[in-house]
Amino acid sequence: MFGNAKLPWLRTFLALPNGIPSHDTFGRVFARLNPEQFQQCFLAWIQAVSVVTRGQVIAIDGKVLRGSCERALGKAGIDMVSAWATANHLVLGQVKVDDKSNEITAIPKLLQMLEIAGCIVTIDAIGCQTAIAQTVVDLDADYVLAAKENQGHLYEDIKGLFDAAQEVNFKDVPHAYAKTTDKDHGRLEIRQCWTIADATLVDYLRNRASWPKLQTIVKVVAERRLNDETTIEARYFISSLDGDAQRMLAAVRGHWGIENSLHWVLDIAFDEDHHRVRKDNGPANFAVLRHIALNLLKQEHTVKAGIKAKRRKAGWDEPYLLKVLCGPGK
């Protein structure tokens, strides 16, 4: 319907001798398009139009496309792992998790596709794996990885060290500390970060030698107050960075940009979870298309509005759509 409504305008770019292709034709094309080649084109475009600066946080996380599942056939929704540049507000790349695999195997594949030298890679607990840490280090980047309770003794050892240090109020314990306080819409958020980078203390971690370039252990406590409710959550991390607590806290906080600025926007502005493309390569290819659209809309700053409103304006206003498609400064 959109294509037919815009046919005269679209013909200023495309021949379209038979008019707008049918719904089924679009479906067949995206079902058969090689998703790896499409992703390579996406990567080449991003690397040509954006610069990822050294020290920037690159957040890695996965998202299941719930609308792509086929319950009648016992087929689960596909899982896409994405890389998000927190400063640029750009998707840098994505890979589909293989049906018989998981994000642990997909993350190194994604990392190797990216230019991340000098950056800080943050990954949630599923990515706290020695092989993933090694991949990051091999790419001349640093990591901040969330420790999870069910992974050997790592979480237990880190928590034990911080518990012991806090019992004596960190007396004679080399450490760094940082705190941030944010208030917005009646909600107060207090984040505190402690880091220990003293080699003699970090050596207490069992299997420390298995973690390449591990320098620092981290504790972050997030306290949220809303009305009469207060929640407190403590999380633990390992990092190849030095013990700068302010920098560590910024990296940990920056990681949540992939949830708030990518996954949440895809659900709210693009209604991704209700997108019903299911056949063959269609779900993975349409996920890349949404990432392209999101990147273009994020980089368009002349209209002060949310992504959903910008999408609507691009549908109504052809000069604005052209401005979005051409990118900043065009």
Residue 302 CA to its chain's centroid (Å): 25
Question: Residues 6 or more apart from 21 whose CB is under 8 A from it?
Answer: 3, 29
Positive or negative CA dihedral for 194, 154, 95, 80? negative
pLDDT digits (tens, 9 = 90+) for 185-228: 778 999 999 999 999 999 999 989 999 999 999 999 999 998 88
Which tens digits make up the pLDDT trace of 221-277?
999 998 888 999 999 999 999 999 999 999 999 998 888 889 899 999 998 887 777
Query: Is residue 296 classed as helix, strand or coil in its secondary structure?
Result: helix
- State the DSSP code for 71: G
- Which domains occur in the chain, in start order? 33-299 (3.90.350)
Confidence at 317, pLDDT banded by 50, 70, 90? very high
Rounded Cα distance between 303 and 301, Å, is: 5
What's the first-to-final CA gap in the chain, in angstroms? Answer: 28
Is pLDDT above 90 for 83? yes
